[in-house]
Amino acid sequence: MKQYRAHLPPLDALVAFEAAARLSNFTAAARELNLSQSAISQQIQNLEANLGVPLFSRMGRRVHLNHLGREFQHIVARALEQIANASREIRTTRGRAQVTVAADQSIAWMWLMPRLPLFQRAQPDVTIRLVVSDSLADCLNDMVSLALVHGRGNWPGYRSRVLFGEEVFPVCSPGYLDRAGHLQSPEDLRNHTLLHLEDTEWQWLNWRMWLTEMDLEAPSEEHGLVINNYPLLIEAAKNGHGIALGWRYLVDADIQTGRLVRPVEGAVSTDCGYHLAWRSDREPDQGVLALCDWLIGSVSAPPELGQRP
């Protein structure tokens, strides 16, 4: 445990030293700090006694920083500036609610981030602190006010509201579809390059599960890219590397702008989805409630809301 108090000089003496060192004049420092010149002189003497070394060279009534004083000035000035800046930032947040939001990388990058600026304009008194992690333990953390998590909504110790359900369908780039030719049905997917998500945390559908739900047999061998990051997987699909599974709402903006297309009809819906979750042992504050209502309302908002530039 750090024992700061045993090593720190009095704060008043440090403030007096910083002013005297910066202005190179005890009288000017006294004027700036609204103190007497003798009070500044006494503070400097106390500081030097505390440190056990002189910080100024004195020649008659004139004083100059010595080499130790110059080194100490740089450190003290920087430290006092940081403390002042931190104090100013804290004062400006008075009366503003802070909501710590946790989300996995997929929904944070592909759905939440495009919407946050609009929420901040609508609710300027609410400060959002965003924690992004694919770990469920990180998202359902005591320090998190509101979590956007994927599952069935049954997390012990948490209450939840459905944000949107899960609907999954194939997506690819228009360029890939031009090269591959027209696909007639989901069965044709087995002969194409499929992009696979390698995920151990979330209950996401993979190609084998999706094809099984469509009453189709999955390919005997996986071929194509295997990626453990869903936003990157979708980037691979947009760059023409193959066909990926697209989650409705997460890929809607890319479909609306034409960066992705649905090569075949057919979708799989499950009993999972994204939920807004918060601890059941404490009542959500007004900032959390405002964000919950706004996010749920934004699901059915106009298409341009979720588009990225």
The predicted-structure confidence for 298-309, as pLDDT tens digits, reads as follows 887 654 544 444
Q: Is residue 309 part of a domain?
A: no
pLDDT confidence bin for 7, thresholds 50/70/90: confident
In a domain, 84, yes or no: yes
The residue count for the chain = 309
Query: Residue 294 class from Cβ within 10 Å (0-12 exposed, 13-18 middle, 19+ buried)?
Result: middle
Q: Where are the alpha helices (DSSP H) in the chain?
A: 4-7, 11-23, 26-33, 37-51, 67-92, 105-107, 116-122, 136-139, 174-180, 207-213, 230-238, 252-256, 286-299
Instruction: State whether 233 and 266 are in the same domain.
Output: yes
Residue 77 placed within a domain: yes
* Residue 22 domain flag: yes
What's the pLDDT score for residue 109?
93
Give the domain extent around 234: 165-271
Q: Considering its fold, how many domains does the chain have in total?
A: 3
Q: State whether 46 and 176 are in the same domain.
A: no
Domain check: are 206 and 154 in the same one?
no
Look at 97-111, 114-128, 131-145, 155-169 and tell me which has the smallest mean pLDDT: 114-128
Q: Which amino acid is at 79?
A: A
pLDDT at residue 134 tops 50: yes
What's the CATH code of the domain at 86? Answer: 1.10.10.10
pLDDT of residue 284: 83
| 290 within domain boundaries | yes
pTM of the model as a whole: 0.68
Closest by alpha carbon to 186, among 198, 169, 168?
Answer: 169
- Where does the pLDDT of residue 118 fall: very low under 50, low under 70, confident under 90, or very high at 90 and above? confident
Residues 178-186: what's their mean pLDDT? Answer: 84
Has residue 283 got a pLDDT over 60? yes
CATH code for the domain in which residue 234 is found? 3.40.190.10
- Mean pLDDT score, 65-85: 91
pLDDT at 111: 94
Return the pLDDT at 124.
82
Is residue 88 located within the same domain as residue 69?
A: yes
pLDDT over 70, % of the chain = 90
With vertex at residue 302, the alpha carbon angle to CA 296 and CA 306, rounded to the nearest 5 degrees, is 70
